[in-house]
Amino acid sequence: MNCKNIFMKIIKKKIKSKIIYQNKKVTAFEDIEPKSPIHILIVPNKIIKSTNKINKKNKHIIGTMTYVAIKIAKKLNFYKDGYRIVINCNKHGGQTIPHLHMHLLGGKILGNFC
Ligand code: AMP
């Protein structure tokens, strides 16, 4: 079993984490250092390093991750108030873990950042 990075360890349940949802394609779990009252990460189960590695063959994963994020927002009942979905890419984007991940943030009014 290949557990190269921290997110792979979470996916494979090699380390403790608060998994919210998991299917064959993606895993969603609580961020260890939440930046808002609700902060969930959605990651593909197979490693894709960043959005730069999205191609014709694997592009469906972005749709699956988004679909799961919305499904969670509905299940946890914060979808009406709203939320923010963020994907950071590489150094300038603020990506610290080289495993593609989507941040699902909510639970308060988030300031505009652009
Ligand atoms: P990014 O800066 O976009 O690469 O986001 C990485 C995120 O992973 C940060 O928000 C971290 O707080 C989060 N993180 C790092 N290690 C863990 C962990 N073991 N469990 C849950 N979240 C983590």
Residue 91 covered by a domain:
yes
Counting ligand 1 atoms within 8 A of each CB, the residue from 51, 95, 97, 102 with the most, and so the one to mutate, is 97
Decide whether any atom of ligand 1 lies within 6 Å of the 94 Cβ. yes
Residue 113 covered by a domain:
no
In this prediction, what percent of the chain has a pLDDT beyond 90? 92
What pTM was computed for the model? 0.96
33: CA distance to ligand 1 center in Å? 7
Residue-wise pLDDT tens digits, 8-53: 999 999 999 999 999 999 999 999 999 999 999 999 999 999 999 9
80: CA distance to ligand 1 center in Å? 26
Residue 114 covered by a domain:
no
Residue 15 covered by a domain:
yes
Other beta carbons less than 10 A from residue 11's beta carbon: 22
Q: Residues 12, 2: contact at Cβ < 8 Å?
A: no
List the domain range (segments joined by +) for residue 99: 6-106
Residue 111 covered by a domain:
no
CA distance 79 to 22: 19
Residue 26 covered by a domain:
yes
Decide whether any atom of ligand 1 lies within 6 Å of the 27 Cβ. no
**Among the atoms of ligand 1, which is closest to the Cα of residue 35?**
10
pLDDT at residue 54 tops 70? yes
Averaged pLDDT, 82-110: 98
The number of distinct structural domains making up the chain is 1
Query: Which residue puts its alpha carbon closest to atom 16 of ligand 1?
Result: 32
Give the pLDDT score at 112.
Answer: 87
39 is catalytic: no
Other beta carbons less than 10 A from residue 1's beta carbon: 6
Residue 56 covered by a domain:
yes
Other beta carbons less than 10 A from residue 30's beta carbon: 13
Task: Identify the CATH number of the domain in which residue 79 sits.
Answer: 3.30.428.10
